[in-house]
Each structure stands twice: as structure tokens, then as C-alpha cells.
Chain A
Amino acid sequence: MNEIEKKYSAIDASCRVPLLVLFGVASVWLIVGLVLAIIASLTFHKPELFGNCPFLTYGRVQPAANDAIVYGFAIPAALGVILWIFARLSESELLLPLLPIVAANIWLLGVLIGVVAILIGDSTGFTWLEFPRAGSILLFAAFLLIAISAVATFGARQERVLQPPHWFLLAALFWFPWIYSTANLFLVAWPVRGVAQAVINWWYSNNLIFVWLALVGLGVAFYLLPKIAQRPLQSRYFALFGFWTFILFAPWLGIPQSAPVPAWLAAASTVASLLMVIPLIAIAIVFVSAVRGVNVQCKGGPYCYARIATIFFLLSAVMLLVTGEPGVGNILGMTWYMPAQTYLQIFGFFAIAIFGAAYDALPGVMSFELPFPGFVRWQNRIFLLGLLLLVLPLAIGGIGQGLKMQNPAISWHEITQGMLIYLRFSSAGLLVLLLGSVLFALNIFVMTAKWQLQLAKSLAASFAGSFEAEEVKS
């Protein structure tokens, strides 16, 4: 092991416990979230199933599943990856490592409170913001604690010039506290009046699901692609341009064309969706120049993950942007096409980018190989199959639903019946994604157990050692 490798292995090792805790929390909630999503989708197979059980009725389980996946899985996993990337880019060990460990436990409690509250009927009623006050306060505090550790590590960097992943990930650290506090203050703590609530809710949803996930996912992809290919990002200026234009335009998306609000709001979203073509082209150029001419045998490993994730991001962004055009938006709005786009954004783009980073980080961080290295490639394939079964039917069904809604001669009953077959396919997609997630969790938990065993052994050895030393002395 040469000097550089030694240095990085010390950096990786400093992230060990925070990453294990954050990934552990994330993988548990991913499984819980997908199980809840499957329970929700059972309604489309047998609607009367949970008629006597208020906790499992569709309207409660569906938001609980969404929140478990985004707040339980996506955010803690993202924070873990951000800590690791910042430590490596700074060439510094993780600073204040106790903060993320404590914060991950607070986060876990916050999500637990939130999900249980939704199931017992204490949801706030706002999309993506269903957790009641007690849960949100814990999440907010925990996020800040982890951000402090991340920013401290960032400040300790050796090379002062910022790298592209720095821009995206720093912006993400700043973004979430702002949107989360605004949404909670204006909607839950001191609710504003009338449909202003709905506008703020759409602003928050878009900034969380589209913008925040994109900032993290792209930051991760733009870290992994050059790292694994072992050559710097080729088009740094396009990346910079793409970053600035993205954060300038993307927060203006998300107001549906049909909304019963002043027309200028939806018009602003339309203009933004047009302008968003600029950052998308820039990001596509960065991506192509990063992967072109690179001789990496990715074999279903982290490089594949980063590549697939970026492609899915471009796809999901295009799916979203077309709905900004009023004609298209009026057909596709309020249909299953919209959830299909959200699923692609979360599972196709974001989750795959995060899994790639986790699989790239873990062997170094733990200083032993993954217990099931074959699962990496399998999970990749399983996720692609799951996405195919989940997103494609919902998108196609949604387009059909939207076109049928334009024709009042087709009865509403016929429209919902026509959607059923697509919804049933999507349940199968969720099931397949659950299988892939179990593979991820198995790697995480067997690793954690192995590490704990090692720790216990070395503790026992040092204890025995000191005992022997005592004997020699006497």
C-alpha cells in the first residue's frame, strides 16, 4: 500500500460508523416504504381488503410509503454519501463524526413518529409534508447536525479550488433546511389562507423531489464518473454553467396548468420548463464528455450505476418538462403519468446513483470486501426490471387516462377500469424493487454484523492482552 492509498484508507475509515448508521437507517426505511407501497397498491387488486382497518386504508398507507421512502431512505442515504465525498475531496478525515451518528438516530425517531402519525390519521394533509410537527422538528435538527459535520469537513480541504460535486452537494445542504422550514412554517405552524397553501405545497414538492434529489444525485454522479474512470471531469465549464442555470430555473417548476390559482403562477412554470432545456443540454454534454473514450469495464458495478442514474435523470426531467407546456399539461396533469415521473426520479435516478456511491464507498470504508459482491450486479438488473414494470405501465396508462379524460363521452367508470391493468403491473414493479432493496440491506447488515464481531474480537484481544501484561508485571 503506497502513501496515497494509506491516506485514503484512513479517510474512508473515519467515515465508517456514520456511514453504517445512516445506510442502516436508509435501508430499513426503504424496505418499510416499499412494503407500505405494496400494501397500498393491493387496493387495486382487492379494494375491500382493509375496509375495517383504518391504519391500512389507501389514503394513509400511500403517503406513509412515499414519506418513508423519501425521508426514511433518500435523505439519510444522501447525507451519508455527502459526508464520504466531502471527506475524500477534502483529503481530510471526517470532522465531528459524532454529530452524524447522533443525528442519524434522531432522524430515525423523526421518521418513525411521522410514519406512525400518518397511519393513525395525524397527517398534515400536505403532499410530501405529511409528517406532523414533532417529526419535522426532529428531522430539521438532525439535518442541521449532519450538515455541520459535512461543512466542517469541507472547510478542512487541502485543495482550495472547489470541484463540481462540491457545488451540487453544498447547494443541496443549503436547499433542504430552507424549503423544509418554509413549508413547515407556512403550512403547518402558521398556515396561510386559502389556495396559497396549495401553491407553497407545490413549490415545496418540486424543490424536494425534483431539485433536491437532482442536486444530490448529479453531485454523486459527477463525483463517481471521474473517480472510477480516473480522469477529471472533462467539461468543467459546462458543468458550472449547467449548475447555475439549473438552480436558477428548476425551482420555478411544479405549478400544474389546471390549478385554481392566478394564471401567472402556472405561466411562470411554463417559462421555467422552457428555460430548463438549457441546463439539461449542459448536463447532457458534461455526461457524454465524462463517459466518452473511457476504458472502464463497469460489469454492473458503481460506474454502471452512475451512468444509468444520469441517463434516468435526463429522462425524468424531460418527462416533467413536457407537462409545463399548457396543452400537454392539461392532458397529463392529474393522471398517473405524474406519479410515474416521480417514481422514475426517485428510484430510477436518485436511488441508483446513491446505491452506486454506497457500493463504491463501502469496501474502502469497512476495509473488507462486500459480503455478497455478486449482489451488486444483480441489484442493478433487478432495479432495471422493477423500473420497467413500475414506471412504463403507469406512464402509458397515465397518457391513456389523460386522453380519455378529454372525451366526456367516455364514462369515468370506464377510465378507472382501463387504468387497473397498468396499476396491477406497477404492483409487480414495486415487488421487484423490494427484492432489489433487500439485496442492498443484506450487504449493509451483514457488513455491520461482521464489523461488530471484529470490534468485539479486538476488544476481547486487547482486554486479554492487558490482562496478560498485568500478570507479567506481578
Chain B
Amino acid sequence: MKTGLRVFLGAFVALGFSWLGFVLGPVLQLGTQGQTTVLNSSQIYPNQRPGAATLGLQVYRANGCAACHTTQIRQDGVVCDVALTSAGSNPSAVNELVASLTLTNLTKPEADLVSGKISAAGGKTETQIVPIGADISRPGWGLRHSVAEDFLWDNPVQLGNVRVGPDLSNVGLRYGETWELAHLYAPASESKTSTMPPFRYLFTLQKIGATPSPDALQLPAGFAPAAGYEVVPTEDAKNLAAYLLSLRADVALHDAPFSTASAPAGGAQKK
């Protein structure tokens, strides 16, 4: 090579390809994404987060929560469970048949075969879709894998890259506001050996006035302030808690289906 121009052109083409693929492609495909409907329902998903939660996302960003927490639930796939909804006119024969069959952890054709046999005997069945995978099986972590729609209204999108702490995709399903605030103020009060740093600077320690503040935290001994003082969350803390409570991917979608009734139980059966 005798000119730098060739290197520039080569680099232009090489980087340009990946730019088309990983910048322009997603912008065209995902950047125009709109709301979708919940599976088997006309309900729109996702809704805009509540106002306090939208502000709370900015507190989440400013304090770098995503340095330790991901919001990505993984899934290995789905299995089908067959549930007997009605034993029909000849319950003993149907129950006997059901007892001889495997009803859980099936592929779709297997499930169809099983339901065919049961309905031939006069019973009625329902096939349920059960997501599987280590993340799904972890109690409270998720009912299904995370999908692009879950983050439609967020800016910036905070997926996180390392799980220093637990995944927060569904933290809103696990705890309530009281728990979140106490945990932000003193993580050790909720879990003794927690490695999460406390965010005391999001709270105000103040003298109890004429009437105690209705927002004051109820803290266990050892974490509670001195007598005559109370710990009150700032607006930032309340907004952050509102954001955390809004983290809940609990509806089934076309690209992430699951059957509501049996999903948690079915998930726990696997592994």
C-alpha cells in the first residue's frame, strides 16, 4: 500500500458495515417500535411509567445503580404443561388415565398428544406455556424473559452489564415501598451481610417536630435514629422507590408467552 487513502477507505467500509448492522439496523427495527397488546387481551403494553417512577429512573441513572444491577432476565425456552380442567362424565377412568401419563415438561406435540388422549376419554384439558431457565426459576426474579418492549419508554435504558447484586427486572413484584425505602437507607437492616452500600444521603435525619412525619421510616433496632429523631426520605428517595416498584414485567406478550396460572409453580418444578 502506498497511500493512506486505502487504509481510510478500508476502515470506512469495515466500520461502516458494522455501523449499518449495529447502529442503523436497531434504530430502524427497534427505534420505531410501538406499544403492543398483552397476549389474549386488548390491554396495551407497556404503559408510560408513573410520573414519580420516570423521575426515579433519573435518580437510578445519577447514582449508577446499573453498575451493579441488571434488568435482563434470561430464559432457556418454554415447556408445556397439561392441566385437567374437568374430568367429564367418567371421572374414575379419566383420573386413572391422567395418573398414567406425564403431564408436565412436555413439548407442544407431546402436549397435544396427551390432551388428545384425555379428551378421547371424556376429560377436558388446558395446555399451559411454562418458561424455563435458571433466572426464571430463581424465586421472584421473573415470569418470562425480558423483551425490548419492557424498556420502550425509558431514557436512558439501564440494562446493566454485571450482576454484582440481584437482577431488578421484577423487583416491583418482590417488595413494597416500605421495604424499598428501608433497604435503600440501610441495606443491612433487611439482609445482614448485604454488600450494597447504603444511600443515607437520599434521606434526611431530623428532629421530630410537633407531629411525627407520616413518611418517617420504621427501622429495626440498631438502625433506628436516636430517640427524638426520625429518618425521612427525600423526593429523590421516594422517586427511586417508585421507579423500583414500577419494574415489573408480569404480562404475557406474543414474543414472550406464558400461562399466568401455572407459571410460577411450573417454573419451580424444573431444576
Residue numbers of A with Cβ under 8 A of B are 43-44, 47-54, 57-60, 62-63, 118, 121-127, 151, 154-155, 160-162, 166-167, 170-171, 174-175, 178-179, 182, 186-187, 191-200, 202-203, 207, 240, 244, 247-248, 251-252, 255-256, 258-262, 265, 268, 330, 334-336, 338-339, 401, 405-409, 412-413, 416-417, 420
Q: What's the minimum C-beta distance from B185 to chain A, rounded to whole angstroms?
A: 9
CA distance A200 to B25 in the complex (A): 10
A251 touches B198 (CB 8 A): no
Q: What's the minimum C-beta distance from A52 to chain B, rounded to whole angstroms?
A: 5
Knowing A154-B4, A191-B156, A258-B74 touch, does A199 contact B26 (C-beta < 8 A)? yes
Pick the contact of B150 from A121, A167, A260, A408 — CB < 8 Å?
A: A260
Task: Scan residues 1-24 of chain B and give those whose CB is less than 8 A from a CB of chain A.
Answer: 1-4, 7-8, 10-12, 14-15, 17-19, 21-23
A58 touches B64 (CB 8 A): yes
CA distance A68 to B207 in the complex (A): 41
B7 touches A166 (CB 8 A): yes
Residue numbers of B with Cβ under 8 A of A are 1-4, 7-8, 10-12, 14-15, 17-19, 21-23, 25-27, 29-33, 61-68, 70, 72-74, 134-135, 137-139, 145-166, 187-188, 191, 193-201, 271
Knowing A123-B62, A162-B2, A417-B193 touch, does A195 contact B166 (C-beta < 8 A)? no
Name the residue on B nearest A183 (C-beta): B23
Q: In the assembled complex, which residues on chain B have CB atoms less than 8 Å from the CB atom of A406?
A: 134
A63 touches B11 (CB 8 A): no
Pick the contact of B26 from A48, A256, A265 — CB < 8 Å?
A: A265
Knowing A49-B197, A178-B15, A413-B193 touch, does A121 contact B63 (C-beta < 8 A)? yes
Pick the contact of B31 from A53, A166, A178, A196 — CB < 8 Å?
A: A196
A260 touches B1 (CB 8 A): no
A408 touches B137 (CB 8 A): yes
Q: What's the dominant secondary structure at chain A's contact region?
A: helix
Knowing A48-B197, A58-B68, A413-B191 touch, does A334 contact B4 (C-beta < 8 A)? no
Q: In the assembled complex, which residues on chain B have CB atoms less than 8 Å from the CB atom of A47?
A: 187-188, 194-198
Q: In the assembled complex, which residues on chain B have CB atoms less than 8 Å from the CB atom of A166?
A: 4, 7
B152 touches A182 (CB 8 A): no
List 9 A-B pairs, minimum CB-CB distance, nearest first.
A59-B64, A251-B18, A121-B62, A125-B61, A51-B198, A408-B137, A260-B146, A203-B22, A125-B156
Q: What's the minimum C-beta distance from B191 to chain A, rounded to whole angstroms?
A: 7
Q: In the assembled complex, which residues on chain A have CB atoms less than 8 Å from the CB atom of B159?
A: 195, 198, 259-260
Q: Which of B61, B66, B161 has the most CB of A within 10 A?
A: B161
- For the A-B complex, the count of residue pairs with Cβ-Cβ distances under 8 Å equals 238
Name the residue on B nearest A49 (C-beta): B197
A198 touches B197 (CB 8 A): no
Knowing A251-B14, A406-B134 touch, does A182 contact B23 (C-beta < 8 A)? yes
Name the residue on A nearest B185 (C-beta): A51
B197 touches A57 (CB 8 A): yes
B191 touches A335 (CB 8 A): no
Pick the contact of A334 from B65, B153, B154, B162 — CB < 8 Å?
A: B162
